[in-house]
Amino acid sequence: MTEAIDARPLVGGPDLPQVRRLVTSIPGPRSVELFARRNAAVARGVSTTLPVFVTAAGGGVVVDVDGNSLIDLGSGIAVVSVGNAAPRVVAAVADQAAAFTHTCFMVTPYEGYVAVCEKLNSLTPGDFLKKSALFNSGAEAVENAVKIARAFTGRSAVVVFDHAYHGRTNLTMALTAKNMPYKHSFGPFAPEIYRMPMAYPFRWPTGAANCGPEAASLVIAEMTSQLGVDNIAAVLIEPIQGEGGFIVPGAGFLPALSEFCKANGIVFVADEIQTGFARTGAMFASSHEGVVPDLVTTAKGIAGGLPLSAVTGRADIMDAAHVGGLGGTYGGNPVACAAALGAIRTIEELDLVGRARHIESLMLPRLQEMAGKFACIGDVRGRGAMLAVEIVVPGGLEPDAATTVAVAKACHAAGVVVLTAGTYGNVLRFLPPLVIPDELLLEALDVLEEAFATVT
Ligand SMILES: Cc1ncc(COP(=O)(O)O)c(C=O)c1O
């Protein structure tokens, strides 16, 4: 064991050995020791999916303090799409940190912030004039998109959907659907938020084929009769719902909503915080159905792990907020901007959009095959490298969270990081770094299949 610990790498990135290697049980003794310290020092409300403490990560692996090397199918929740410690990100961060770490863009500006905005303006869907503003977290970007939409329209109502997740700040808790753990005991919440049914094909009462058009009619009728379109500032939606369970809306739902918004002066906001930056096999998931949002929120995959988020969209909408109305001390921090430019360049140079599609072509058939073998897999869905299986009591729709957790734990014990999701806690989701080697991905799928065979 000593040998394994001594051999553990101090430097991460793509040169780390791309292997699954377990030298202790998971978690190992050093992680267990650190977890005890963590429990004594860190507030209970901050949870842990897999209590191994990391020393290095890169490509498709995460290496822990005990010398174990785990296959990463989580990317730190869809963040390190370009891989952990990606060379261009590391170099850009080091250079920028050596030059200056902060001035506050609102005090004395710097080029990196402007360059990131220019990139966002050109990469997001739509060939109209666009502008951007930068923030720190996804939740902060969503809050600012709501502020901007309200300033532009002079209206206050915001429409969101069942199963939505938009963050944990006060306004974004109100926008988020699920009570436990995100909202429970934390109210009161912000007003003027209206929740509508989601086009959830697997659970649509009249069947998946009818889901998109029927859900759109329902939502449009409710917006018209219950809210009054003249009161609605924004419709806010994830083009594929993330924490809600990787729900790909029924075909036609997003285009119908976007058209309705256009016709009625409502700002259509796509929350691409989890789906953006190549994750779904397109630079932005709205493009799969040709939807051009008025505003797009981004974070996560934008900066290879550094905290950065943005609102990007139609210049006339973005400019509706008065001078000084948007911003924050750290928003668009120069080191995070340098990281974003490195990450975006990596996405383009390595064609990570194409890689995400390739990952789908490797994973989706295997997951479908597993659904044929294991009756608890009720649905296989997603796009690109954002894929999931929904676990139910065989033969119906009843969610089976216990089996979901058991399969996830079996994967963890075997050295594969997988995450769960879903309103009912019954979705296993897969978000590999887009640079993961094929062999490692296939090995992770073998482990997953073995976990299903053992647990069910
Ligand atoms: C779609 C979506 N919106 C917003 C957020 C909130 O982002 P953050 O955790 O950076 O505040 C998330 C995070 O998971 C998300 O997936």
- Centre of ligand 1 to C-alpha 86, Å, is 22
Phi/psi for 36 (5° steps) reads: -65, -45
Counting from 1 in the atom list of ligand 1, the atom nearest the Cα of 238 is 1
- The residues, ordered by sequence, that sit 6+ positions from 21 with a Cβ below 8 Å of its Cβ are 67, 68, 69, 415
- Centre of ligand 1 to C-alpha 168, Å, is 8
Q: How far apart are CA 363 and CA 441, in angstroms?
A: 8
Res 180: pLDDT = 96
Q: Is the pLDDT of residue 4 over 90?
A: no
9 band by pLDDT with thresholds 50, 70 and 90:
low
Q: Is the pLDDT of residue 3 over 50?
A: no
Counting from 1 in the atom list of ligand 1, the atom nearest the Cα of 168 is 11
Q: How far apart are CA 244 and CA 237, in angstroms?
A: 12
For the segment 170-192, the average pLDDT, to the nearest whole number, is 98
Counting from 1 in the atom list of ligand 1, the atom nearest the Cα of 169 is 11
SS3 226: helix
Q: Is the pLDDT of residue 10 over 90?
A: no
Counting from 1 in the atom list of ligand 1, the atom nearest the Cα of 139 is 11
Res 242: pLDDT = 98
Q: Which amino acid is at 312?
A: T
- Does the bond joining 188 to the residue before it have cis omega, within 30 degrees of 0? yes
Res 8: pLDDT = 53
Q: Give the range among 4-13, 106-115, 180-189, 326-335 with minimum mean pLDDT.
A: 4-13
For the segment 120-136, the average pLDDT, to the nearest whole number, is 98
Residue list, ligand 1 pocket, CB within 6 Å: 77, 137-139, 142, 165-167, 238, 242-243, 271, 273-274, 299
Counting from 1 in the atom list of ligand 1, the atom nearest the Cα of 297 is 3
**Tokens representing 292?**
């051009």
- Centre of ligand 1 to C-alpha 273, Å, is 6
Counting from 1 in the atom list of ligand 1, the atom nearest the Cα of 77 is 14
How buried is 169 (Cβ within 10 angstroms: 0-12 exposed, 13-18 middle, 19+ buried)? middle
Long-range contacts of 262-267 (CB under 8 A, 24+ apart): 264/229, 264/232, 265/153, 265/229, 266/153, 266/159, 266/229, 266/232, 266/233, 266/234, 266/235, 267/148, 267/149, 267/152, 267/153, 267/233, 267/234, 267/235, 267/294, 267/295, 267/317
Phi/psi for 33 (5° steps) reads: -60, -45
**Tokens representing 396?**
């119906």
Give the tens place of pLDDT for each residue, 130-166.
999 999 999 999 999 999 999 999 999 999 999 999 9
**Could you tell me the pTM of the whole model?**
0.97
- Centre of ligand 1 to C-alpha 137, Å, is 8
Give, in order, the Cα–Cα distances in Å from 61 to each of 76, 171, 279, 295, 304: 12, 36, 18, 34, 15
- Centre of ligand 1 to C-alpha 140, Å, is 9
For CA atoms 145, 147, 149, 151, the dihedral sign is: negative
Q: Is the pLDDT of residue 391 over 80?
A: yes
- Answer yes or no: are the C-beta atoms of 75 and 355 closer than 8 Å: no
Give, in order, the Cα–Cα distances in Å from 434 to each of 120, 237, 261, 441, 452: 20, 24, 34, 10, 25
Residue nearest to atom 7 of ligand 1 (CA): 138
In 3D space, the residue among 311, 297, 312, 308 whose CA is nearest the CA of residue 336 turns out to be 308
* Mutation probe of ligand 1 site: the residue of 75, 146, 166 with most atoms within 8 A of C-beta: 166
- Answer yes or no: are the C-beta atoms of 65 and 8 closer than 8 Å: yes
Give the tens place of pLDDT for each residue, 249-294.
999 999 999 999 999 999 999 999 999 999 999 999 999 999 999 9
* Mutation probe of ligand 1 site: the residue of 274, 275, 280 with most atoms within 8 A of C-beta: 274
* Mutation probe of ligand 1 site: the residue of 300, 427, 431 with most atoms within 8 A of C-beta: 300
For the segment 393-417, the average pLDDT, to the nearest whole number, is 98
